[in-house]
Amino acid sequence: MENTINGIHHITAIAGNAKKNFDFYTQVLGQRLVKKTVNFDDPETYHLYYGDKQGTPGTILTFFPWENITTGRRGTRQVTEIGYSVPEGSLDFWLKRFDQHNAIYNKVSEKFGQPYLTVLDPDGLKLELTVSNSADTRTPWETNEIKAEHATRGFYNVTITTNKMQPTADLLTSVFGYRLLEQHVNRYRFITDAIENASIVDLVEVPGESIGHVAGGSVHHVAFRVKDEKTLMAYREKIEALGLNITEKIDRNYFYSLYFREPGGVLFELATDNPGFTVDEPLEELGINLKLPAQYEGYRSKLEDLLPKLV
């Protein structure tokens, strides 16, 4: 895991109603709310992080919930599917659960010989629960209703839809260290051997498809994982050498980040493992209290009044 891209760090998406988002991910999907904070650029909006007990990289799905945002449209230049890993034999449980909660889902299908179940969250974000060919040994977050034999383990893969896959594929293979694992029709599956899980990126090539619109129910960006700041800045040099515009290092309190648009138009982030989500609250209290960046602490009372109640 030294000096490598270690799979997916987190994925950030856009939601509408914060309470509906919170209820779906904590109650229906059984994720832990790992961090309740605010958007650095719009502090009157939450930034909600869901994941496993510690908020381990590779399990973290985050949201900016804007109450009256328009609905997005899936298309090219987008992350269009988020895949979670689930245990073998668990899909019947999830089918019944989605029925009970009136979630929109499709029947079980197969991709590269692996069964998966598609479900939409309240804003239409497309999630897939995939049963991997190999056992996922990550320890899941459990709830009263969702135990380990059924619970999600974290990310399995992410799907990018593109008009032309080769420029993105070249970045994945020549800079990020991925390799082409297999192809079926217009879906190309890339994997990194640097990490066991959250290691797969699918590229779906649709030359005539229109560009998607990123709004409610859309992925805003996907973040790839690096060990530390030294590795982060080494990758900055590599990406800058390709002629791509990349930000300076940004302190996101729980990790350090760089942002750039990959050649196919999707916003990529590189994010460090350090310092992690327990930097400002103990493990047992993750997600309970509103945590604010230092520049907004003076507005705490106002923000606590403005931000919607989740419980």
CA atoms lying within 13 Å on the CB side of residue 41: 3
Q: In this predicted model, what pLDDT tens digit does every residue of 243-266 receive, in sequence order?
A: 999 999 999 999 999 999 999 999
Q: State the chain's mean pLDDT as an integer.
A: 97
Q: In this predicted model, what pLDDT tens digit does every residue of 225-239 receive, in sequence order?
A: 999 999 999 999 999
User: At 223, is the pLDDT very low, low, confident or very high (cuts 50, 70, 90)?
Assistant: very high
CATH topology of domain 8-306: 2,3-Dihydroxybiphenyl 1,2-Dioxygenase; domain 1 (3.10.180)
Which two tokens mark 305?
């009044």
- Asked which of 19-23, 124-128, 135-139 is least confident by mean pLDDT, the reply is 135-139
pLDDT above 90 (res 90): yes
**Cα dist from 98 to 92, 120, 228, 251, whole Å:** 10, 10, 39, 38
Question: 239 φ, ψ to 5°?
Answer: -75, -40
Q: How far apart are the C-alpha atoms of 92 and 73, rounded to whole Å?
A: 29
DSSP H/E element including 21: helix 18-23
Percent of the chain with pLDDT over 70: 100
94, 117 contact by CB (below 8 A): yes
Domain residue spans of the chain: 8-306
pLDDT of residue 2: 74
Q: How far apart are the C-alpha atoms of 122 and 217, rounded to whole Å?
A: 8
DSSP H/E element including 26: none
Percent of the chain with pLDDT over 90: 97
